[in-house]
Copies of this chain bind each other. A is one copy, B any other.
């Protein structure tokens, strides 16, 4: 039998996770299988979000193509950042959002929406699938399939082996994740919850198409709302890595569930450079809220899958 959570170091964190799983899946306190629901954030929780979330990389490629077709675009943000490769400006937009400044996030969302406006959901899925086939992670140089966190993938499999059903609950755009989640995480499209672009049904073509708006941003207190809307159950386990996951972690905790917060504190050079940006409040409140902090440095013996 393969070792459980083989890429996790033998620490109290690993022990706490396995004890929890054993308790709710077996023995006198077992929870019915249908109620064993686990939810995980995506960027920074299941795969790296550095140097910038994968979705931004995709969008940058689209903006470069748009600016090549219309050079006047290259004069303004965010197209200028895309053309000049100013990843710092782009990657910082989400950090600035978590620090309370939404200016650049709104600029980004507007241009994001411009990429898909009027497109059918199938055409977008095909475009995104091509990106995942061709793109290389900007610093690792690997396909994005190898930019996932091996310990977390093992945790997904461990949960499934114990009767859990796993959902993604991300601030990232839902339909950008769906084309890869089955292959990367073993999570099918119907279990992907995320921010949503507006949609309309085009009666003439029989296609569902994107509108020029954002329907909702799946972050913070919106996450428990979307979990209930989609699943109709409270999760028994929730995993995240940022302030935007705190409500979802609290939702699981209020029902006696396990809440995990991945802390990017690894300075060994094995993975992402350490960062707390966007997770300051979550880290400060974790102990009081009964949230289990997962230290990348101490609790993971390996970060990325073996090459």
Contacts and interface: CB of A to CB of B under 8 A. Distances in A.
A206 B250 contact: yes
B178 A199 contact: no
Copies of this protein in the complex: 2
B232 A192 contact: yes
B205 A254 contact: yes
A208 interface: yes
Given A201-B221, A201-B224, A221-B203, A196 B229 contact: yes
Contacts of A232: 174-175, 178, 189-190, 192
A231 interface: yes
Interface residues of A, number: 37
A250 B203 contact: yes
A253 B203 CA distance: 11
Nearest to A121: B228
The SS class assigned to the A binding surface is helix
A130 interface: no
Interface in A160-187: 174-175, 178
A251 B201 contact: yes
Interface string A103-123: 000000000000000000110
23 contacts: A122-B234, A174-B229, A174-B232, A189-B231, A190-B230, A190-B233, A192-B232, A196-B229, A199-B225, A199-B228, A201-B221, A201-B225, A201-B247, A201-B251, A203-B221, A203-B250, A206-B255, A207-B254, A208-B224, A208-B225, A208-B228, A208-B251, A230-B230
Interface of A: 34, 121-122, 174-175, 178, 188-190, 192, 196, 199-201, 203, 205-208, 221-225, 228-234, 247, 250-251, 253-255
